[in-house]
A and B are shown apart, each in its own frame.
Chain A
């Protein structure tokens, strides 16, 4: 069945790059009687016998009888023979990910450098660096360390810069709390030295014992003696350093999820498509990560070179080209197309969507399907007290709907996304950008348009809320939230003016002293929690007048759009015809009874 010359022939005839790599791909794809190839940029899959490699494209043309033509014409024009049970995109993706052999050649538990006694994180990092001597300098270049957008003007875009959101707004003056999610040790204020190699926290991303936990308010440090955190009632214990250090491996979703599932300070606060339910999801929740299925780690798609992890960074898309592994096997595997190709479905008409509709639009019918996600955060209500004391109100899903420290919340589950044109780039407001407070202010928004060939209709979680702004300077204000009473922090005094003065002064930004609250929106592209194919949206979800695409304008969509004059004129003609023939018929029957009749 497997013949090398066929592979060569396929590789050449299908314009694979004429090097060994291309042929290797052809090899790996041409097995088990299945041939995957490109035809006019479409991926096609075919069962083949040992003799025939390519069945002539228009095999139906030979049909002579009309009946046969009628039977086969439509499928013959539109698509290939469907001899395979699975969709081409599935077969392709399966082959791309089937090799699960580990090729790690080092057992860290046997390294001498990791046997000695450690008392702190930086000591472990120094031990790591004795072998991995480029690791820290690589890591220093990444956004995980700088919290700055490497592609924009230095120091402006990014959490570590002046970008703001509508959750806790900004890290400035709040560092020790926020940086418990920094992959470093001791970023407690703006004087943190980002050039120190041993301040990199290797363990938070690489340790596998699950016992290494950064204390929530200690600027990314771990405790040296058991300490209670009142915020969640948990006691944090110092790690067994040797055990933790010797456990290191490639990051699993436990490592990534520790921070990314709790963005915004709690489970499911920020992303609607990433929360603790993804630690051990089933296939129904995430068809790729499901422990009863493919069981992917995050890095299966977020492929990494030199500690640079594939993914969007603010306005820089994760990748700018849309290629499949067949076209280029060195690309990051971050896009659906990487493994599934741009023509993954059996049905040609459904493949016709992929130039304008992101895969996620149909394949993630709702987000937050297991754990709830925060949809509304109104800071203007914060600071109210009951009997002179801060308080909370419990709401649905076991979540607070009010917290004196933070204001009013709304949580939701199984949320239908909002859809926007998206080219992979998200713009984010900074604390120096002017806003127009007369309407809802977009703190972050997706870029893209109907006319941009790189844009796809993409589902989003839109987090709405109210946050303080400077009514004179027309800028979003940075409040000092976390800190002791005497620091001016809001959570110490519940005084907005003090908190805003303190936060803005710390960030070295002007504040007029006048402030109010403005409604804002913040967007998250929905891309995780891909549902199994049987749960994908049906056509009607969008192809109807009140469907999910109702808010997108500027293009004609069957089933959604119409033209009222044509519609009215059309039905008028039909009704007139119907009325006409009915009257005519009645007339004939009347005259027939009264003597005159039809031809007889």
Chain B
């Protein structure tokens, strides 16, 4: 247990926070309507569910393009470079140390917003899972144009639908764990508050190692 006092640092810029919560809303709506379109339950009615799903899906695609653009131009993409250093320490923290009240092995800082486990998860999510989900979604949406685009015979709707459906489970699973993980800060709501206000409370004087820094020279 650390004795250092807590200080607030401005960790998440306005755009990051907007993107995070907009994305949260879109993902929530997409999951909600997606499972209805699949036939899991009836909530909005099929037609409304499809319309909401298509609208939010395209909206997310637009947002995603902006996010990628922002990440590239600000250099923040480096926050997502995967590393194995301290990866196991972080994993051990969540598996064992957290129950013993031990401190998190990797502190948050402006230059290192994500711990190694987060980096890996978010990279996998935003570089593989989400693009594939958007791609399959877009193909699903434009099914009627496949013939005109010469895609007939290359894809099958059932395969596209199946991938889209399978990945939805992974996103839902991520969402559950992600929401739970927000409670593992120094208080149950600390991380959520930080994501809302931009200010994260961290212990003063925590040294950020060079390798952790996003903009840093690695």
Residues of A within 8 A of B (CB): 66, 69-70, 73-75, 77-78, 349, 352, 355, 538-540, 543-545, 555-556, 558-563, 566-567, 569-571, 573-574, 576-578, 580-581, 584-585, 587-588, 591-592, 596-600
Contacts and interface: CB of A to CB of B under 8 A. Distances in A.
Contacts of A539: 45-47, 50
20 contacts: A66-B62, A538-B47, A540-B45, A556-B157, A556-B161, A558-B37, A558-B39, A558-B161, A559-B46, A560-B39, A562-B38, A563-B162, A566-B165, A566-B166, A570-B168, A571-B169, A574-B176, A576-B173, A585-B183, A600-B186
B31 to A, nearest CB: 10
A538 B45 contact: yes
B62 A73 contact: yes
A70 B62 contact: yes
A544 B47 CA distance: 12
A540 B99 contact: no
Contacts of B94: 584
A588 B99 contact: yes
Contacts of B104: 599
A104 B61 CA distance: 60
Nearest to B37: A558
Given A558-B37, A562-B38, A571-B169, 18 more contacts: A74-B56, A538-B46, A539-B46, A543-B39, A545-B39, A556-B157, A567-B165, A569-B169, A570-B165, A573-B173, A577-B177, A581-B176, A587-B99, A591-B100, A591-B101, A596-B100, A596-B101, A599-B104
B149 interface: no
Contacts of A69: 62
A333 B22 CA distance: 50
Nearest to A540: B46
Interface in B74-99: 94, 98-99
A566 B158 CA distance: 12
B101 A597 contact: yes
B177 A581 contact: yes
Contacts of B50: 349, 539, 558
Of B57, B156, B183, chain A has the most CB atoms within 10 Å of the CB of: B183
Interface of B: 1-2, 22, 37-39, 42, 45-47, 50-51, 54-59, 61-63, 66, 94, 98-101, 103-104, 143-144, 156-158, 161-162, 165-166, 168-170, 172-173, 176-177, 180, 183-184, 186-187
Contact of A558 (B38, B100, B172, B186): B38
B154 to A, nearest CB: 15
A527 B41 CA distance: 33
B45 A566 contact: no
A18 to B, nearest CB: 25
Nearest to A71: B59
Contacts of A74: 54-59
Contacts of A559: 37-39, 46
Contacts of A66: 62-63, 66
Contacts of B184: 588, 598
Contacts of B168: 570
B124 to A, nearest CB: 15
Contacts of B62: 66, 69-70, 73
A569 B166 CA distance: 9
Nearest to A599: B186
A599 B94 CA distance: 13
Contact of A599 (B45, B103, B144, B183): B103
A566 B173 contact: no
A114 B157 CA distance: 66
Nearest to B15: A66
Given A570-B165, A588-B98, A599-B101, A73 B59 contact: yes
Contacts of B158: 555-556, 561, 563
Contacts of B157: 555-556
Given A559-B37, A578-B176, A77 B58 contact: yes
Nearest to A66: B66
Of B63, B170, B180, chain A has the most CB atoms within 10 Å of the CB of: B180
Nearest to B188: A598
B46 to A, nearest CB: 4
Contacts of A570: 165-166, 168-169
Contacts of A556: 156-158, 161
Contacts of A562: 38-39, 165
Contacts of A598: 98, 101, 184, 186-187
A349 to B, nearest CB: 7
A588 B95 CA distance: 11
A545 B59 CA distance: 29
A598 B183 CA distance: 10
A349 B54 contact: yes
A600 B177 contact: no
